[in-house]
A and B are shown apart, each in its own frame.
Chain A
Amino acid sequence: MTGAFYLAALVAAVSTGLVITSLNAVHALLYLIVSFLAVAVVFFIFGAPFVAMLEIIIYAGAIMVLFVFVVMMLNLGRRAIEQEAGWLRSRIWIGPSILSATLLGELLYLFGSGILSQAGGITVQAPKQVGVVLLGPYLIGVELASMLLLPGLVGAYHLGRHLNSEDA
């Protein structure tokens, strides 16, 4: 599993380096999603399966979808059609595909070799333990996080609503 860690770390570093060097925002988003998936594998190897799932669902899922929405909204018009044609060329998606295939092969190897169940040397923190600690000593932190999310929601709604009402 040490080799799995180094492979996932390599994928994460390479894809993150490609995020900050690519010129097209959509290409950067593809690499960023691959980077988050690789970091999720690292979390899993470090005995944090619950957080690894959250990394995929929230980071690579929800937050990246927000980015994709905004990039698509800013690219309206005839330029979008040319871009759509450009995205179908294979050299655009071949890089993220290779990196994702590396992660997939690593996942299949880990499941196939059966070393996931023993996780030698690393104590797996099960979701139950995380939940007990989260809603026990850290309950005030959960309340503070909810107080942070509410202004975030109100702020995003206010800014977005202003935009729509002036466009109409």
Chain B
Amino acid sequence: MMPSSKIPKHLKLRPPVPVAQGTAESGAGPAKIEIRSLNFYYGEVRALSDISMTIADRAITAFIGPSGCGKSTLLRVLNRMYALYPHQRAEGEVRIGGEDILSATVDVADLRYRIGMVFQRPTPFPMTVFENVAFGLRLHAVARGAELHHRVEAALREAALWDEVKDMLNKDGRSLSGGQQQRLCIARTIAVNPDVLLLDEPTAALDPISTLRIEETLQALREKFCIVIVTHNLQQAARVSHVTGFMYMGELVEMGLSSAIFTTPKDRRTDDYITGRFG
């Protein structure tokens, strides 16, 4: 991470983007992610327009909005996943822990190692349950032998999966049930102890009981991580998140405490969306 002395002066002098009111009272940590004037393009098509926000550490921030509103795109900016594809580009400023991650000098592999991501569908790797969780740890040679076993077990426990798989660590990860696979993916992501955990509709492909277990897991993890979740499920956003942002047509329409967004939204479009008039 970049020490604060390296941040150019003109950036330091800028007034901070206002944090959603009341986040401090909810037990959340200081701002972890700061986004200023972010624009994103798929070729010529603009998918995000002038997004500015801050996202708090040790809290769950949810993004809701109709399909194509840019919420998944926002996540893909935060770990530079878009950079895998030509013709996709981001402009503006995104700071995570003070470091400008859009800078050309950022080591993308290192960035993604620190910004974990869980996808819409479970994506277990073609290897054993143990190796799935050990994958990131081995890649970056952070743990070996007994220490590796210890970290794998800790991650599986945190993802509330240990009791179910402790006797089948050598089975292929793809032989687990869908809900177990998704918790395996969460375990794999938190095993490397990332700074930020991004979840892109993590329960979209799961049954209600598996969904509930994942939500419980997230509640337990919020104490440690900055969690950003994109969801189509409004109840889920209301249940698990402290702060909710509503996005519409590439814009951040409104962002604030979830309790406020879901009861007294300020913008007409937010109101229409959460009451089911569109989307």
Are A and B interaction partners? no
Q: Which B residues lie at the A interface, using CB under 8 A?
A: none
